[in-house]
Chains A and B, each alone.
Chain A
Amino acid sequence: MAVATFWIILILVIVVAFMVNKYVKSASDYYVMGKKGGTIGITGVLTASYLSAVTFVGIAGIEYLNGPPIFLICYGSWIGMVFGFLYVGRRLRAYGAITMPDFLQERFGTNVRVTATIILIVGLLGYGVVQLMGAGVLLSTVTGISYNVVIVVFAVALVTFCAVAGMYSVVVVNTLLLATILVACFIIAPIMIKAGGGFEGLTTGLMNIDPDFWSAGGRKYHMPAGWTVGQFVLWALFFPAAPWIAGMALPCKNDFVVMRSISLATLFTTVGVVILFLGVSAMFLVNPNINPADQVFIWACKNQVHPILGGLGIAGVMAAILSSGATIFMGAGFGLSRDLYERYIMNKGGSLTESQKIIYARMAQIGVGVIVITFALSKPLAIYWISAWAGALFATAWLPTLIAGFEFKRASRVGVIAGMLCGAGSYIILYQCVKKWKLFTLPLGLDPVIYAIIISFAAIWVGSLLVKPKQEDMATYSRVKGIGLAENTLQSLSPGEMIKEYKMTKTLAWTSIIIAVVVLGLFAIRIVPAVSAGM
């Protein structure tokens, strides 16, 4: 079943990519789907990109061993996704960016854009490669196919469907894959909860084994409060600048699609992840010896549900890995082709035809694929170092830069570059000293990312005081600040269309709020008093 699922998913994504290739006629089609993304497609790609191997494998294993609260409390990626879409994404769209570095080029010029793009590519590759390697180990165990074959086949499928039709295939494929992910969260996870004894099992059952199953620090890890706060802040500040989140606002057809997509994606990811984590925690009551723990969801698919449903569940895990990997590696490829190479040609006074842009974009995707396969197969020591701090690069280098670009008129080019380098550099140094070499601890036990972000903002401010901003940059700031975030949409829709979109978006926002409050409120009512009894 697992082997069949593996091959079916991979063949499906490649076939779909070739089918949508006919819609790719220009570089805009390739990079941002010609800005034609509708609500279903963007919700699909956003939700599927958000739910990755980290959710279904790594954190699921931690939840299984520790109980629900350890990550439900500190899952800062939820607010990070909302902020990334509604604050960062809307602004990038309004300012006409096709990629995230586009905005930095417009605002601060070439040196800032190049520095940011290099950090972007390193961060994306570091974060993505280790996810792929982890996925390779998992899928190899589950399917019996050797690790090297899994890596090569997976990476070839990823590169093929990204290279063939860029954002078009990523959006369409991810939306299709989302169906299996939703089955995992909303059908299989509830079955897991029931198998563990339902609410009674989750409350009395787990509490009888160990009351710390319902503690913030977890039954096994007993993490301190400083860790919880640090994790929340890390994820909350990393996701707003993550290209596979904020960048998904760029292909949206209009502002209403942005708002509806984030409403739906937030509903799916909040309620879906809560149910998933309750489900994996319940599995401890069924089998406390699942080893390695991060295979808990796979074990449940094989042992607790009907084989067809189990196959769909495993497909959901593969879909989560594939979808996140696609948007991550696509971002790295776009960085190479558009933000480095195309810009280099433009700066030299040259130009590229639309066909040439698409060809070079595809070549960049293939180049990324080769790098990914090489790292994943050779497993150089450096990749573990890079991956440990790759994700935090977005929080410590990119986010302060974006905020300075949007809000700080007097941010200078030197200040922003200082901010990026000091943010990234200080994080790497603090991470190694505190977490790896354990030379000292930080005040309050907070994660190094918090201090690195403060250092980044401080460096932007000091650098901008020492080297004043150029007049043209301040003029650009005033110009972009004057652009209404709704302007494009207001101009592109007729009054009748505007009213229809407005009503649909408003209804969906209210509906999402009500569903989340009712469902999560019901969980709280059933669980909280039961686990509080006797305290």
Chain B
Amino acid sequence: MNMAALLSFLHPMLIMIICGVWVLAILKSDYSAVVNGSAGHAEVKGENK
């Protein structure tokens, strides 16, 4: 296996994965509680209507 060739494509792929996962982690840790809470209130409101 030509490791240099493999790394040439694995490296940029991993960087994109790291970036994407980091963004998803930020969304989960900083925003999901607020967003899920807001979404919950919206659903209740809809049912009441």
Q: Which residues in A have some Cβ–Cβ distance to B below 8 Å?
A: 68-69, 72-73, 75, 78-79, 82, 86, 214-216, 255, 259, 262-263, 266-267, 270-271, 273-274, 484-486, 490, 495-496, 498-499, 502, 505-506, 509-510, 512-513, 516-517, 520-521, 523-524, 527-528, 531-532, 535
Give B41 Cβ to nearest chain A Cβ, in Å: 7
Residues B16 and A516 in contact, CB atoms below 8 Å apart: yes
Supposing A502-B31, A506-B24 touch, asked if A516 and B13 sit within 8 A by C-beta, the answer is yes
- The distance in angstroms between the C-alpha atoms of A495 and B27, with both chains bound, is 15
The residue in chain B whose Cβ has the minimal distance to the Cβ of A207 is B2
1/0 contact trace for B1-37 toward A, CB 8 Å? 1111111111111011111111110110011101100
Nearest 7 CB-CB pairings of A with B: A516-B16, A495-B38, A486-B30, A270-B12, A513-B20, A72-B8, A524-B9
15 contacts between A and B (CB under 8 A): A69-B8, A72-B8, A72-B12, A73-B8, A78-B12, A263-B23, A267-B16, A271-B12, A498-B31, A499-B39, A512-B20, A520-B9, A524-B13, A528-B1, A532-B2
Residues A499 and B13 in contact, CB atoms below 8 Å apart: no
- The distance in angstroms between the C-alpha atoms of A157 and B10, with both chains bound, is 40
Supposing A486-B30, A524-B6 touch, asked if A532 and B1 sit within 8 A by C-beta, the answer is yes
Residues B23 and A79 in contact, CB atoms below 8 Å apart: no
Residues A498 and B38 in contact, CB atoms below 8 Å apart: yes
- The distance in angstroms between the C-alpha atoms of A451 and B27, with both chains bound, is 36
Residues A75 and B11 in contact, CB atoms below 8 Å apart: yes
Residues A505 and B5 in contact, CB atoms below 8 Å apart: no
Residues B6 and A495 in contact, CB atoms below 8 Å apart: no
Known pairs A82-B18, A214-B4, A516-B17; list 20 more (Cβ under 8 Å): A69-B8, A73-B4, A78-B11, A78-B15, A86-B23, A255-B26, A274-B8, A498-B31, A499-B38, A502-B27, A505-B23, A506-B27, A509-B27, A512-B16, A512-B19, A521-B9, A524-B9, A527-B5, A528-B1, A528-B5
Residues B34 and A215 in contact, CB atoms below 8 Å apart: no
- The distance in angstroms between the C-alpha atoms of A69 and B10, with both chains bound, is 11
Residues A485 and B8 in contact, CB atoms below 8 Å apart: no
Most A C-beta atoms less than 10 A away, residue of B2, B7, B19, B20? B19
